[in-house]
Chains A and B, each alone.
Chain A
Amino acid sequence: MISARLYILQRATALIMAPLVIGHIAVMIYAVQNGLSAAEILSRTQGSFFWAAFYGLFALAVAIHAAIGLRAILHEWAGLKGALLTAICWGIALGLGGLGLQAVYSVTG
């Protein structure tokens, strides 16, 4: 179910996410030390182009990456295939991407 193209996309997004995951976890370790609050998060992220780009890229990459990953799982474990599988995976990618960008927008916008 995974062709060369999807493979490339999945590995590429994984590579893109690699430093982002490290960054994200580091921020979390740092952030939780001061106790989490909406205000605290927003003060750090709001209006920051850097964080918008950081999390925007993360959200897009993860949407693609997870959709392809779930494609394999849905095929192998749920037996889905063909157009239905492709449609579902597009749905997951667009859904995750949309939700993700919305979340990024709400904390950085």
Chain B
Amino acid sequence: MKLSGHRKQSLWFAFILHRISGLVLALFLPLHFWVLSLALRDPAALDGFLSWTDFWYVKLAEYGLVFLLSVHFFGGLRLMALEWLPWSPAQKTYAASALAAGFALATSFFLSATIYG
């Protein structure tokens, strides 16, 4: 997908961010579920996984996932507001706010994980 001229507009980026985040989350889910189900079968293995989270790059990946979740969440709320509430001309502002909010939520998660964790 070449970034041709018509895509160079902020709300198209908001769309692609929502899509990529949803896609990555969906791909991550089976892994997530599998890891958790280890709790029953092999708690030690789960701990092994969890201890990975001490590595910075795993932390970063984790941060990424939480960011994607929160940005997809706010983006989703934005889309449903667009669809169901009376039209507002401030769509670009909303998209930017959703991004900022997602960023803020993920960062606070990241900070609490690095400070306390």
Q: Do chains A and B touch in the complex (CB under 8 A)?
A: yes
Q: Which residues of A contact B (CB under 8 A)?
A: 11, 14-15, 18, 21-22, 25, 28-29, 32-39, 41-42, 59, 62, 66, 69-70, 73, 92, 95-96, 99-100, 102-107, 109
CA distance A82 to B22 in the complex (A): 23
- We find that the number of chain B residues with CB closer than 8 angstroms to chain A is 37
Complex alpha-carbon distance, A109 and B29, angstroms: 20
Is B17 in contact with chain A by the CB < 8 A criterion? Answer: no
Are A25 and B22 in contact (CB-based, < 8 A)?
no
Residues on B close to A: CB < 8 A? 19, 22-23, 25-26, 29-30, 32-34, 36-41, 43-44, 46-47, 50, 53, 66, 69-70, 73, 76-77, 80, 83, 105, 108-109, 112-113, 116-117
Taken together as a complex, chains A and B put the C-alpha atoms of A71 and B108 apart, in Å, by 33
